[in-house]
Amino acid sequence: MEAKENGPNGKHSGRVQVMDGPTNPMVTPLLTDLYQFTMAYAYWKAGKHHERAVFDLYFRKNPFGGEYTIFAGLEECIRFIANFKFTEEEISFIHQTLPSSCEDGFYDYLRGIDCADVEVYSVSEGSVVFPKVPLLRVEGPIAVVQLLETPLVNLINYPSLVATNAARHRFVAGKSKMLLEFGLRRAQGPDGGIGASKYCYIGGFDATRISGFKGGAAFGLTVLVTLVIENLLCNVAAGKLFGIPLRGTHSHAFVSSFMSPDEIIDKSLHSSDGSNVCEDFVSRVQTWLSKIQWSISLRGVFGETNQSELAAFTSYALAFPANFLALVDTYDVIRSGIPNFCAVALALSDLGYKAAGIRLDSGDLAYLSCETRKFFVAIEKEFGVPGFGSMSITASNDLNEETLDALNKQGHEVDAFGIGTYLVTCYAQAALGCVFKLVEINNQPRIKLSEDVSKVSIPCKKRCYRLYGKEGYPLVDIMTGENEPPPKVGERILCRHPFNESKRAYVVPQRVEELLKCYWPGKTDKAREDLPPLKDIRERCIKQLEQMRPDHMRRLNPTPYKVLDSSLNFHTDFQLLATTNSYWKRLNYLNGKQVSVSAKLYDFIHFLWLNEAPVGELQ
Ligand X SMILES: O=C(O)c1cccnc1
Ligand Y SMILES: Nc1ncnc2c1ncn2[C@@H]1O[C@H](COP(=O)(O)OP(=O)(O)OP(=O)(O)O)[C@@H](O)[C@H]1O
Please tell me whether residue 522 binds ligand PRP under the rule CB under 6 A.
no
Determine which residue in the list 238, 399, 458, 475 makes contact with ligand PRP, applying CB under 6 A: 399
- 422/314 Cα distance (integer angstroms): 33
Determine which residue in the list 103, 398, 482, 603 makes contact with ligand PRP, applying CB under 6 A: 398
- 310/289 Cα distance (integer angstroms): 10
Least distance from C-beta 380 to ligand PRP, angstroms? 28
Least distance from C-beta 337 to ligand PRP, angstroms? 14
What is the CA angle 165-171-174, rounded to 5? 135
Please tell me whether residue 406 binds ligand Y under the rule CB under 6 A.
yes
Residues from 141 through 200 that contact ligand PRP (CB under 6 A): 182, 185-186
Closer residue to ligand Y (CB): 406 or 576: 406
- 455/54 Cα distance (integer angstroms): 18
Please tell me whether residue 369 binds ligand Y under the rule CB under 6 A.
no
Alpha helices in 320-364 (DSSP H): 338-350
Please tell me whether residue 248 binds ligand X under the rule CB under 6 A.
yes
Least distance from C-beta 340 to ligand X, angstroms? 18
Alpha helices in 174-259 (DSSP H): 189-203, 236-242, 252-256
- 292/340 Cα distance (integer angstroms): 10
Residue 365 touches which of ligand PRP, ligand Y, ligand X, none (Cβ within 5-8 Å per kind): ligand Y
Determine which residue in the list 365, 516, 568, 595 makes contact with ligand Y, applying CB under 6 A: 365
Q: Characterize 591-608 residue by residue with b for buried, 16 or more Cβ atoms within 10 angstroms of its Cβ, and e for exposed.
A: ebbbbbbbeebbebbeeb
Closer residue to ligand PRP (CB): 196 or 508: 196
- 532/540 Cα distance (integer angstroms): 10
Residue 308 touches which of ligand Y, ligand X, ligand PRP, none (Cβ within 5-8 Å per kind): none
**198, 205, 211: which is closest to 179 by C-alpha?**
205
Does residue 541 contact residue 126 with C-beta atoms inside 8 Å? yes
Please tell me whether residue 396 binds ligand PRP under the rule CB under 6 A.
yes
**How many C-beta atoms lie closer than 10 Å to residue 66's C-beta?**
22
Least distance from C-beta 414 to ligand X, angstroms? 14
**571, 549, 563: which is closest to 594 by C-alpha?**
563
Q: Can you point out the beta strands (E) in 352-496?
A: 357-360, 392-395, 416-419, 435-441, 444-445, 462-468, 474-481, 493-496
Please tell me whether residue 533 binds ligand X under the rule CB under 6 A.
no
Residues from 419 through 438 that contact ligand X (CB under 6 A): 420
Please tell me whether residue 330 binds ligand PRP under the rule CB under 6 A.
no
Least distance from C-beta 362 to ligand PRP, angstroms? 7
Determine which residue in the list 248, 363, 433, 481 makes contact with ligand Y, applying CB under 6 A: 363
Residues from 299 through 328 that contact ligand X (CB under 6 A): none
Residue at 516: amino acid letter: L
Residue 470 touches which of ligand Y, ligand PRP, ligand X, none (Cβ within 5-8 Å per kind): none
Q: Determine the straight-line distance between the first and last CA of the chain, rounded to whole angstroms.
A: 64
Determine which residue in the list 279, 280, 398, 482 makes contact with ligand Y, applying CB under 6 A: 398
Determine which residue in the list 123, 173, 178, 234 makes contact with ligand X, applying CB under 6 A: 234
Does residue 133 contact residue 562 with C-beta atoms inside 8 Å? no
DSSP code, position 18: E
Three-class secondary structure assignment of 83-140: CCCCCHHHHHHHHHHCCCCCCHHHHHHHHHCCCCCCEEEECCCCCEECCCCCCEEEEE
Least distance from C-beta 105 to ligand Y, angstroms? 60
| Interaction pattern, residues 337-376, with ligand PRP; x per rule: CB under 6 A | ------------------------x---------------
Q: Are strands 128-129 and 574-575 parallel, antiparallel or unpaired?
A: unpaired
Closer residue to ligand PRP (CB): 76 or 361: 361
Residues that bind ligand PRP (CB under 6 A): 182, 185-186, 361, 396-399, 418-421
Residues that bind ligand X (CB under 6 A): 182, 234, 248-249, 359, 396, 418, 420
Task: Enumerate binding residues for ligand Y (CB under 6 A).
Answer: 362-366, 397-399, 403, 406-407, 410
